[in-house]
Amino acid sequence: MASNPANNNIPDIVIGRLPVYLRALNRLTQEGEEVTSSHELGRRLGISSAQIRKDLSHFGGFGKQGTGYQIAYLEEKLRQVLQVDREWKVALIGAGDLGNAIGNYRGFTDRGFHIACIFDADEEKIGATVGGLTVQPMAEIESTIRERGIQVAMIAVPAEHAQAVTETLVDAGIKAILNYAPINLDVSKRDDVHVQYIDPVLHLQRMTYYLKG
Amino acid sequence: MASNPANNNIPDIVIGRLPVYLRALNRLTQEGEEVTSSHELGRRLGISSAQIRKDLSHFGGFGKQGTGYQIAYLEEKLRQVLQVDREWKVALIGAGDLGNAIGNYRGFTDRGFHIACIFDADEEKIGATVGGLTVQPMAEIESTIRERGIQVAMIAVPAEHAQAVTETLVDAGIKAILNYAPINLDVSKRDDVHVQYIDPVLHLQRMTYYLKG
């Protein structure tokens, strides 16, 4: 088990499945289970058990053939691999309807993330409270992020402002951006910055392709 | 160009990229552009131009070598392929903070989707107004969906209720579900039902893997 496995050249698609496994294990724990198997996980996730065993084998494997996985142990190991055995402070940019929903969402904290500050450009929103935090002006993004050593940010601003916000964030030291604005961000100049996207319409359109009108 | 291309055995990963292309083309149109190229699209999206040309070639290709793509034409063709050249009525289940944010989001309408009804189990929420719609009781899900011929739903209820809601939706005739609840849904008995997921924590955890603690 590498504690900082980023140099291991494990395919990103494998890394992308680990949080899904961790979420399923959390659910099993909530249901009172203590042991599971690649078959049980695969059945729940619609992924083959062979794929699950192969994915986990990149990290040394976590179970013995025939005896299954100790859920608590596997959860802890996956948290270590994903580095969510600690709490990451997150900067949230945008305090509109979406920023409010994100700021009030209670599902981040027990999965490794804590929204630590929130910013908006709208004078009327600055000073308001969202999820217990006071909305700060955009001009304070860089100093706040630097002072607090924040590496993770979420963008919930209109599409036309998202690229400018991104550049401010990257200049301030942000290394991971979850972008809710419906636009692709250009971070091609910075190969140490990771971007992921949330756009519900992309998912809906991917499904309507298959529907009978 | 097939108008109902679902039988063409095009890989789902290709279908998944088409909404991304369409979104980038929308943006180019908003910027006043009329013509683009696979190189320009690729640069904006961080996808190789060869990949873009190959993806589009599944549908017959849309440009001549060297002259680029007419943006308006390509947008229209992609809308047809994805079947978002019409408006899909969407049922929204859950009227909490997240349901409110989804119900008030203005980005669905011009991309093929119209939230047509919203449901919640909480007596205190029933009768309230979200995005101009009156929140209906869960008991009305099936009749409303059947009467209005709705095929698309979004789930924004707590994880522990999501599977039961899913079964109600599928029984009522829903064929496409976008699930915001942080849990995998089992629709394995129905191979005509499509599910996509939105869970911001999965994206965040995928990125923290690469960060230096």
- Structurally, at CATH architecture level, domain B5-81 sits in Orthogonal Bundle (1.10)
Best mutation target among A204, A211, A212 (most B Cβ atoms within 10 Å) is A204
Q: Which of B27, B188, B208 is nearest residue A112 as measured by Cβ atoms? A: B208
> Which of chain A's residues have a Cβ under 8 Å away from the Cβ of B186?
44
A-chain CB neighbours of B46 within 8 Å are 184, 188
Q: Is residue A57 pLDDT above 50, yes or no?
A: yes
Interface check for B109 against chain A (CB to CB < 8 A): the answer is: no
Average pLDDT over residues B92-98: 93
For A95-146, the three-class secondary structure string (H helix, E strand, C coil) is CCHHHHHHHHCCCCHHHCEEEEEEEECCCCCCCCEECCEEEEEHHHHHHHHH
**A211/B18 touch (CB, cutoff 8 Å), yes or no:** no
Give domain limits for chain B.
Answer: 5-81, 88-202
* Cβ-Cβ contacts under 8 Å, A20 against chain B: 184, 202
DSSP label at residue B68: B
In this complex, which of A12, A23, A83 lies closest to B208 when CB atoms are compared? A83
The answer to whether the CB atoms of A23 and B90 lie below 8 A apart is: no
Check whether A4 has a pLDDT greater than 90: no
Is the CB of A100 inside 8 Å of chain B's CB atoms? yes
Answer yes or no: do B208 and A45 touch at CB < 8 A: no
Using alpha carbons, select from A123, A151, A124, A150 the residue that is nearest to residue A139.
A123
**What is A29-72 written as a DSSP string?**
HHTT--EE-HHHHHHHHT--HHHHHHHHHTTT--SBTTTBEEHH
In this predicted structure, the answer to whether residue A166 has a pLDDT above a threshold of 90 is yes
Superfamily name and number for B88-202 = NAD(P)-binding Rossmann-like Domain (3.40.50.720)
Q: How far is CA A172 from CA A102, A145, B53, B204, in A?
A: 22, 6, 37, 19
Query: ipTM score of the complex?
Result: 0.94
B88-202 and B5-81 share a CATH fold: no
B22 CB near a chain A CB, below 8 Å? Answer: yes
Query: What pTM was estimated for this model as a whole?
Result: 0.88
Nearest 5 degrees, angle CA A4-CA A10-CA A11? 135
- Tell me the C-alpha distance between A110 and A199, whole Å: 24
CA B210 vs CA A21, A30, A154, B52, B132: distances in Å? 18, 28, 17, 27, 43
Tokens of B62: 């849309």
User: Which residues lie closer than 8 Å to B4 by C-beta, 6 or more apart?
Assistant: A212, A213, B83
Mean pLDDT to the nearest integer, A38-60? 92
Q: Which strands form A152-155's sheet, in the order they lie side by side?
A: A129-130, A133-137, A113-120, A88-93, A152-155, A176-179, A194-197
Q: Which CATH number fits domain A5-82: 2.40.10.170, 3.20.20.120, 1.10.10.10, 1.20.140.10?
A: 1.10.10.10
pLDDT tens-place string over residues B8-65: 689 999 999 999 999 999 999 999 999 999 999 999 898 999 999 999 999 886 766 6
Q: What secondary structure, in 3-state letters, does B19-46 show?
A: HHHHHHHHHHHHCCCCEECHHHHHHHHC
Search chain B and give the residue with CA nearest A79: B205
User: A119 to chain B, minimum CA–CA distance in Å?
Assistant: 18
Q: Which run of H or of E encompasses B91?
A: strand B88-93
H-type helices in B8-118, by residue range? Answer: 12-30, 38-45, 49-57, 71-81, 97-104
Instruction: State mean pLDDT over A6-10.
Output: 68
Give A8's DSSP letter.
S
Answer yes or no: do A202 and B113 touch at CB < 8 A.
no
Q: How far apart are CA A203 and CA B112, in angstroms?
A: 12
Over residues A6-14, the mean pLDDT reads 79
pLDDT tens per residue across span B149-204 = 999 999 999 999 999 999 999 999 999 999 999 999 999 888 899 999 999 999 99
